[in-house]
Amino acid sequence: MANLSFGAAALGLTFAFAAAAPSFAQSNDLDAKTSEGVVTSEQSCEYEGGTVMTLDAGKICFVAVRGADFATKAYDGQALGVVKCSGNGAYANELVQPSGQFCRVFLEQKKVAPSRAEVEAATRAQIKDEVVDEEG
């Protein structure tokens, strides 16, 4: 009877180690460079721990930049931010200074402020229209 119990225990341990073997292989995958950590939409912004904001310059994702130690698959899905500021989405991004630990990812084309000449021309036209309205 003791031999049967010992054999069953050995068989059980064999199956336990065989089942654990894939998890050891997966831990190597967790050290691989991440395929995530990129923001291209409002959903991916929130997934990476960012905040979507609408500013005068356009709609942005304000998100942290992961350190190099956190740029592996083990940290994906933990809302730690983007791996690097460049290469997110179709539009230019801006590293927020002076710390450089946050990134402004533009989710739409950045709006360009009008030049001084354009503002002055629009102001002159508006004043001219108001003067004509008062006289007329």
Q: What pLDDT sits at residue 63?
A: 92
| 68 and 2, same domain (yes or no) | no
Q: What pLDDT sits at residue 30?
A: 57
Residue 19 lies in a domain: yes
- The closest alpha carbon to 84, from 135, 37, 23, 50, belongs to 37
DSSP result, 9-42: HHHHHHHHHHHHHHHHHHHHHHTSBPS-----SH
Provide the domain limits for residue 82: 33-111
One-letter amino acid of 30: L
pTM: 0.57
| 9 and 64, same domain (yes or no) | no
Residue 121 lies in a domain: no
Q: What pLDDT sits at residue 130?
A: 84
| 42 and 22, same domain (yes or no) | no
**For residues 49 and 83, what is the distance between their CA atoms, to the nearest angstrom?**
12
| 21 and 44, same domain (yes or no) | no
Residue 81 lies in a domain: yes
The rounded Cα 9 to chain-centroid distance in angstroms is: 49
Other beta carbons less than 10 A from residue 19's beta carbon: 9
Residue 101 lies in a domain: yes
pLDDT < 70 positions in the chain: 1-35, 135-136
Q: What pLDDT sits at residue 17?
A: 46
| 53 and 1, same domain (yes or no) | no
Q: What pLDDT sits at residue 93?
A: 83
Residue 118 lies in a domain: no
| 42 and 105, same domain (yes or no) | yes
